[in-house]
Structure 1
């Protein structure tokens, strides 16, 4: 009986030895973590130099809008993030002088409604549509460069894209060292849009006024002179006639 039990244990031991590591391996493997929603603020916070951009995104209520769209988009987004130094290098009042609507347009001008890698930006057809728009349609950005260097131009400023804070679909976030100023807000107004100057008022020169003032008296003097000459002539004729009559008598 004892020998039979020992034989059974010897037979089962290799099987138990083979099964035990597999069971242990399965129990120690971590379960895959569910993919959470993208956190734009967290991405910018890691860069530690985008406090002004985060503040403007919050004040214009575009942060919440972008977060919501990021989790439902099929095209993705590309965001160009100006650094704090970029905002500090603007002329005084450049941002504060904007209306609330213009601040929204400025923020949306830094966002394209499509995901672009850096290599994509070298081959895009310019201008690239942004989220900002006006009465004439969407406002665009122009890209150029070669190799690994990509430049972005607005028509007012041009700067290089220096660093990718994130470059994975559906979101790309790139650092820029200048605020992208749209021509529609910061460009020079065209002459056609400037109000036409009012025509100058007609003015009378001092010489004309002098001539006009002296004209009546001058006419009077001429008339008086002519009358005097007429009287003198008549007097001469009468005097000559009287002399002739005296000679006859």
Structure 2
């Protein structure tokens, strides 16, 4: 596990974008696993800047997103499909046909999860998976649980996740209660994993997830077992890790 400490969110975003950009340069037709939420927005902005400067070409890149709320359509501005188009896809020259987000409108959870898992396998897996880190240790929408879920599945969101996400909605009642998400096994099959984390409010979970016991009660702790993980965090988020 490699840990890169950035002085602030802007530097963190630059460092993370540099790692993703290097992946694209090394393998122009790479498969990127992408994440949503507030943490990667700066990273996407930096990638867009590199593209606009002529330093990055997304034309052969394919992408698979970690997750999507169940029940939200593409036009809903809180859907992750909408988020990805707003922050990255519509701002670079990636082929829309090669971008993939779980279909939150599919009412058949079993069929959608199977379809998405097969889609990821059809690409030959993910070359680099970008992750954020939830306050309770969730990655994607893999919540604390008795076991590590292996493949893409439909999950009931915990109250803490709903509470954390309600700032994006009119009220907590409007936050979807379920989501489709890659499983822990799906994530762990990525060749490389990049975690971005910022803020003092993440310091406790960073220390617990990456320096504590490996347990499904802290889903991100499984990343300790992956052979190629890079964590890019600002000083506040990394304040409680062992030195």
Q: Give the TM-score taking structure 1 as reference length.
A: 0.23
Report which structure shows greater RCO (CA 8 Å, sep ≥6).
Answer: 2
Name the structure where helix makes up a greater proportion of residues.
Answer: 1
Larger radius of gyration: 1
Q: Please report the TM-score for the alignment, with normalisation by the length of structure 2.
A: 0.23
